[in-house]
Amino acid sequence: MIGALRSLFLVAVMTTAASAEPTRSILSFDDLDGWAADDHGAALSVFLNTCGDLNDPDWQALCRVAQTYDADAARSFFELFFRPVLVEDGEEALFTGYFEPELDGSKTRTDRFKYPIYKIPPEARAEGLWLSRREILTGDAMQGRGLEIAWVDDPVELFFLQIQGSGRVRLPDGSALRVGYGGANGHPYRSIGTELIRQGALGAHEVSAQMIRAWVRKNPEAGAELLFHNPSYVFFREVSRVAPELGPLGAMNRSVTTMRSIAADPAHSPLGAPVWVEKDGKTPLRRLMIAQDTGAAIKGAQRADIFFGTGDEAGKAAGRLRDPGRMVLLLPIQRAYALLPDEF
């Protein structure tokens, strides 16, 4: 699952803990700002990537119907068979971004590539709570066991790869190796962003992935110790069945799509469901996306993480995103009306 731990390094400034009983109201498609201008065919294509995996009869029926529509008729498909449902739980809407990191690395250790990406040891999987990050990286528990998938050249990027939960490694011959979440050591995540705020090194308004990277590199000794502040350690597995041109696997075990897939809270937005995104901020966005992923920090009816793609530019764009707005769930007609109180 991509992003098993992503966004948690900003827990101090990005906490969302919706607690109010959610309310639901049915809207019309005319209520969706920018609906008519979107590329509904692109959204339909992404919907079809995962709708075949939905077990619910209502969704299965819609998936079969969707396969009979071409891109030009996609808007009609959504308007005929869905209704927009606004789900609110008392929390303000918040959109953030995530991405697939791309690191430079090698399948063999060299003077440059010396930081290992590890597979999970059997005892770590069996015991639940295993060695801490410090013990894993400074002890000999991993040595000589052939658990290395690859080696990379930057321990800071490797740390953030663990936060994202998946990524790609660019190899010297120009090929790429994709890795996905393979388990963890069982320790709770401790936010290094929170720790930098506590130390007075950064203000709460300054904390971002880019600022944390810069601080660690500017302060190598203190930076190495800062990374040990987080005892949680993520292991990986090689993902060989996903074509290089496709996105990483999301929570539905299917590739997510740049700027069309979101991570949402499945308690409010069923996995595989279309979601209309009205993101405000400096660069407003109005787009139909599909809830195909989840995240540990993505909780609440109006909380979503937008997938920005692979690589450094995607990472910069995703790291800057923290915008308000509104998200509206599209549900099959019968499901939408069933959610409303009897007096509707």
- Does residue 148 contact residue 116 with C-beta atoms inside 8 Å? yes
Q: Which residues fall within 8 angstroms of residue 110, CB to CB, at 6 or more apart?
A: 151
**Superfamily of the domain at 111-238:** Barwin-like endoglucanases (2.40.240.50)
Q: Tens of pLDDT along the chain (344 residues)?
A: 454 445 444 443 344 344 578 999 999 999 999 999 999 999 999 999 999 999 999 999 999 999 999 999 999 999 999 999 999 999 999 999 999 999 999 999 999 999 999 999 999 998 889 999 999 999 999 999 999 999 999 999 999 999 888 899 999 999 999 999 899 999 998 999 999 999 999 898 888 888 898 999 999 999 999 999 999 999 999 998 888 788 888 899 899 999 999 999 999 999 999 999 999 999 999 999 999 999 877 999 999 999 999 988 998 899 889 999 999 999 999 999 887 765 43
> Inter-axis angle of helices 209-218 and 192-199, to 10 degrees?
60
- Phi, psi (degrees; rounded to nearest 5) at 118: -100, 145
Structure token digits, residue 229:
């502040």
Q: Looking up tokens 């791309």, which residue turns up?
A: 102
**β-bridge mates for residue 206, sequence order:** none
Give CATH 2.40.240.50 domain extents, the chain.
111-238
Give CATH 2.40.40.10 domain extents, the chain.
22-98+259-284+294-338
**Record: fold of 22-98+259-284+294-338:** Barwin-like endoglucanases (2.40.40)
